[in-house]
Amino acid sequence: MSTATAVNLEIRRLAGRIGAQIDGVDLASDLDEGIVSGLRRALLAHKVIFFRGQDRLDPAGHQALARRFGPLTKAHPTVSALEGEPDVFELDSARGGRANNWHTDVTFTDRPPAASFLRGVTFPDYGGDTLWANTVAAYEKLPDSLRALVDGARAVHTNAYDYAREHGGGGKATRASEFVSTIFETEHPVVRVHPETGERSLLLGGFARHIVGLTAAESADLIRNLQSRITVPENTVRWQWRPGDVAIWDNRSTQHYAINDYGQERRIVQRVTIAGAIPVGVDGRPSASIKGDAGAYSVVGSA
């Protein structure tokens, strides 16, 4: 059992703008509410938090942990869940589970998850790290002129763009066709207001395909410009996985990138996500679904 309390969590920052490792907590135990509150605060402050050596955590415990933070979503809007676990999404490199692309989870729906809980199962002898980027810091570092432009901008996100296949997804045709079996399109604000902290962040990533009101070339240029500011090294943290590790990230203020640099080696991770609120822009306008109903995937969260 963990002996940590909310007042003595062992938190070690890993980078200047994002990421912290927390020691002394057994995530498979019945965590005291004070510890859970402390973890929530750490997550909001550091955007992504990491835990080593959580070997006792199994799929049931993984889901129980996530439920302490909010209602679970289904595993994925279109891709099959882990067998027997409808709320667990497994990414197995042997079955096309590779996606070396900067993205925020499930932004092609109108209700992206509030947070993601990723458990490490199997890792290669080399490579397979994950990067996270702080999209709040990226917004805060924008020049005033660019900030004024994007504060009112809207972007269309869709899963019709298959990031797994286009970015080294292993060529698994079955998984690729499953990914686009239902097409979703959603118009999101480019700048969303965090429902808990009030921070402004850039809501883009690999599912963002064009900016409303701009030509294809103009959209590509603006998205490329903003993405380069999100993923500048100073905004990122890199995690070198070991089996049993857990990463929890705030999906409302981050992007992440699983590096596909391990050849034919095996890499397996399992993800559980909690329901998120419909994003709201600086002008108070919420995201709007254009195509596809995400109601079966997730309730609308309060945060």
Catalytic machinery residues: 103, 105, 256, 271
Alpha-carbon distance 231 to 149, whole Å? 20
> How many angstroms separate the CA atoms of 88 and 42, rounded?
24
DSSP letter at 63 equals H
- Given a contact cutoff of 8 angstroms between Cβ atoms, the answer to whether 142 and 241 are in contact is no
Q: Do residues 292 and 137 lie in contact, with contact meaning Cβ atoms separated by under 8 Å?
A: no
CA separation for the pair 195, 203 (Å, rounded): 14
Calpha distance 175→61 (Å, rounded): 27
Amino acid found at 150: V
Task: Spell out the residues 6+ positions from residue 97 whose beta carbon is closer than 8 angstroms to its own.
Answer: 90, 91, 164, 169, 170, 175, 267, 268, 269
Residue pair 172/91 in contact by the 8 Å Cβ criterion: no
Are 46 and 199 in contact by the 8 Å Cβ rule? The answer is: no
- Residues ≥6 apart with Cβ < 8 Å to 80: 178
The answer to whether residues 148 and 204 touch, using CB atoms and an 8 Å cutoff, is no
